[in-house]
Amino acid sequence: MYVDAAKLEDEVRNHLIRFGFDLIDFQVGRAAQTTVYRAFIDRLDESPLKLADCEKITNPLKLFMTSIGAFDDRCVLEVSSPGLDRVLKRDKDFARFVGSKVRVRFREEMAKRTVIGSLAGFTGENLTISGIENGGGDSLDVSREGLIEVRLVSEV
């Protein structure tokens, strides 16, 4: 079964909205002869996500994915919270977590680099990271084009 992961992610996101959930991250993987889908969700109202929420949405999401030909008996669906170290991808995510501590992995010229600091702001082209803990000065603008991954850093 061939699946266009980006298209499927958009369809799953739109489906979850009808149930009051937001898709934070979506992963498609393989394990032996099984396709593994991982959906990391949050509530649209930003109230805390509960285990019951994940349980409540799993079967409707399986049925939806089956109806569009992306899920069969060789597939597994895992639905969970994005966790304390959630991935930030969209403007909505960046806006919600401005001022939060983040780990930013990005490409800089021919190398990969990781910095930890505070998400000070963002534009369509850049993220501004301040208070960098692992060298690199007080503030750094990172091109969104070169981003590999941005995650919250748990401060529990």
pLDDT digits (tens, 9 = 90+) for 125-150: 999 999 898 766 788 999 999 999 99
Q: Give the per-residue pLDDT at 136.
A: 62
Please list the ranges in the chain whose pLDDT falls under 50. none
How far CA 129 is from CA of 86, 99, 101, 106, 119, in Å, comes to 17, 9, 9, 12, 5
Q: Give the per-residue pLDDT at 31.
A: 86
Q: Give the per-residue pLDDT at 106.
A: 95
Structural domains present in the chain:
5-80 (3.30.300.70), 91-152 (2.30.30.100)
Q: Give the per-residue pLDDT at 138.
A: 84
154 CB-near residues (< 8 Å, 6+ apart): 84, 85
Q: Give the per-residue pLDDT at 144.
A: 94
Indicate the SS3 state at residue 57: helix
User: Which helix (DSSP H) or strand (DSSP E) does residue 70 occupy?
Assistant: none
Q: Give the per-residue pLDDT at 1.
A: 60
Residue 112, CA atoms < 13 Å, CB-side half-sphere: 5
Residue 56, CA atoms < 13 Å, CB-side half-sphere: 12
* pTM for the model: 0.84
Q: What six digits make up the tokens of 83?
A: 């966790």
